[in-house]
Amino acid sequence: MSFGRRTIAAALAGAIAGLGSAAVADELEPPRDVDAWHAALSEAIGGEIDDEPALRWSLGLYPNFGLALGPPEWIAYQIQGYVSLSNGSSFSLFTGYGYERGWGAEAHLVTLGWGGVRRLSGTRPQRGFYGKFIRYRRINDFSRGVLHGLSVGTETGAGLFSLAFEFGAARSASNHWAVTAQIGLKIAFPLVIPLSRNLGIRPGS
């Protein structure tokens, strides 16, 4: 009986000594820099995946030029410039002004839409554009006079290339009508000017 008690006491003493040595080792071990470890891990795996990325207000510039194929001019060249304001998440608006010239008419374009310049994910960083818009078109037809029209459309760009679709109609004071049904093939130069600092880590950044 005394042998069993001595065995239990020895086991308890060993356990207490082990816990004490572990506590001392924890006190002697230098504290870990969690932030540095987190940053090193993020860099090694290519950045965190943010389900809710940090907000970053930015101004987007999107100058573009190209061809507009379809009525009312069938073949015309366009020069346009968009300015967008975005918070990097749920809010993004853009506006723009442009000029169009074909064989028999010229037009001035004023655009307002939802969307703007954005960062595209891929193997290499690049910027693009996406937007849905409503457009006022003032057409100066060289044979029928001035027509005023409205159209709706969408535009998508990646890097230097952009594709746009637009549908609408225009009417003159003398009741002449013109249909707008165009496909735009453009070269564009998406630019971003940050307006606020983003403290979040984005994929690949």
Q: What is the pLDDT of residues 68-89, one digit of tens each?
A: 999 999 999 999 999 999 886 6
Q: What is the pLDDT of residues 129-173, one digit of tens each?
A: 999 999 999 999 998 899 999 999 999 999 999 999 999 999 999
pTM score: 0.67
Hey, CA dihedral for 162, 168, 172, 176, is it positive or negative? Answer: positive
Given a cut of 70, is residue 46 above it in pLDDT?
A: no
**Distance from the first to the final alpha carbon of the chain:** 69
Contact 153, 167 (CB under 8 A): yes
What pLDDT does 43 receive?
A: 57
φ, ψ (nearest 5 deg) of residue 70:
130, 170
CA atoms within 13 A on the CB side of 193: 7
- Residue 171 in tokens: 């009417």
What pLDDT does 61 receive?
A: 96
SS3 50: coil
What pLDDT does 204 receive?
A: 39
Closest among 204, 131, 147 to 180, alpha carbons compared: 147
